Amino acid sequence: MKIGLAAAAIAVVLVIIGIIRGNVPLNPLSILIALLISAGSWGLVAWAIATAAVDVESDVAEAEAEAEAASQT
């Protein structure tokens, strides 16, 4: 969750830079959409990748423990 929030925060900073540089129209709806799309997508993708990595690592550790237990019997 922390990785997703960090990625979303980075995305918000980049959107703010884009707003300052004039790449986003200065109406509230455009700013809100830019923030939601960037922070939402970056946060969601980063969270999904981090969650998948944790799941894979736990599966690998479990498989190694089972293999070790099987080799000792």
CA 35 to chain centre: 15
DSSP string, 20-31: HHT-S-SSHHHH
Give the confidence band of 1 by pLDDT, cuts at 50, 70, 90: confident
Nearest to 8 by CA among 33, 40, 32: 40
What's the one-letter identity of residue 6? A
Give the confidence band of 68 by pLDDT, cuts at 50, 70, 90: confident
For the chain, the domains span 2-72
* Residues 46, 70 contacting (CB under 8 angstroms): no
- Per-residue pLDDT tens over the stretch 11-52: 999 999 999 999 888 899 999 999 999 999 999 999 999 999
Would you give the DSSP letter of residue 31?
H
Taking residues 42-68, report their average pLDDT: 92
Give the confidence band of 70 by pLDDT, cuts at 50, 70, 90: confident
